Amino acid sequence: MTATRLFGFFAALAAIGLLALSLGFFGGDRSREAFDLASPSRPETRTSGFAGPPSAPPERRASGGEDLTLLAGDTLEISADALPAGRPVALNLDLAEPSANGDPLAGRIFSEGRVPLDLSAAILGDERRTARVEIDADWLSPGRYVIEVRTTERTHFPLRRYALEVR
């Protein structure tokens, strides 16, 4: 009979432990925090791994003669006719966090089927929240590009990527 009582004691103890966990007795419901892998740096990013598939990034079109600003997660479309002949295309990259210093940021631009082109992004302004890259307009042809910049953010993977499409 003692084995039966011992078994009943442990079964009751397990049931009480499960009930306490389900009611959040040990510090609240942490299950959502544990799976919230995408800690957002901007309000428009997803806030939870359970939010469903990400929506397509918004697309913007740029015409010639204006300052071109790219936001991380955004796609900027440029007409090939609007590319300046004989001079570089200047792009302002919006940084999520201010750069730790005024040193230029190392970067690259990628396109399918082409060797990546190394870039240097100059930090602009006193707030250091914008980096400016210049890309030779002759190097750009119709297609999709990803501009990648190594930032000074204190994360395990301090890269920002920006999408550019030349049509």
- Res. 94: pLDDT tops 50: yes
Residue 147 to residue 74: CA distance in whole angstroms: 12
| Of the options 1.20.1250, 2.60.40, 2.40.160, 1.10.3470, the CATH number for the domain spanning 59-166 | 2.60.40
Q: Region 25-53: what's the mean pLDDT?
A: 40
Mean pLDDT of 94-117: 95
Task: Report the pLDDT value the prediction gives residue 130, as an integer from 0 to 100.
Answer: 96
- The whole-angstrom separation of Cα 85 and Cα 142 is 15
When comparing pLDDT for 74 and 145, which is higher?
145
Return the pLDDT at 25: 52
What is the value of pTM for the model shown?
0.61
* Domains in the chain: boundaries: 2-34, 59-166
Give one word for 102, left, alpha or beta, with left for phi > 0 and alpha for psi -120 to 50: alpha
Which of 51-55, 129-133, 163-167 has the weakest average pLDDT? 51-55
Report whether pLDDT(56) > 60.
Answer: no
Please tell me the predicted confidence (pLDDT) of residue 1.
64
Q: What is the phi-psi region of residue 27: left when phi exceeds 0, alpha when psi lies from -120 to 50, beta otherwise?
A: left
Measured between alpha carbons, how far is 149 from 9 in angstroms, rounded to an integer?
60
57 pLDDT above the threshold of 60: no
42: pLDDT strictly greater than 70: no
Would you state the pLDDT for residue 69? 92
In the predicted model, is pLDDT for residue 36 greater than 50?
no
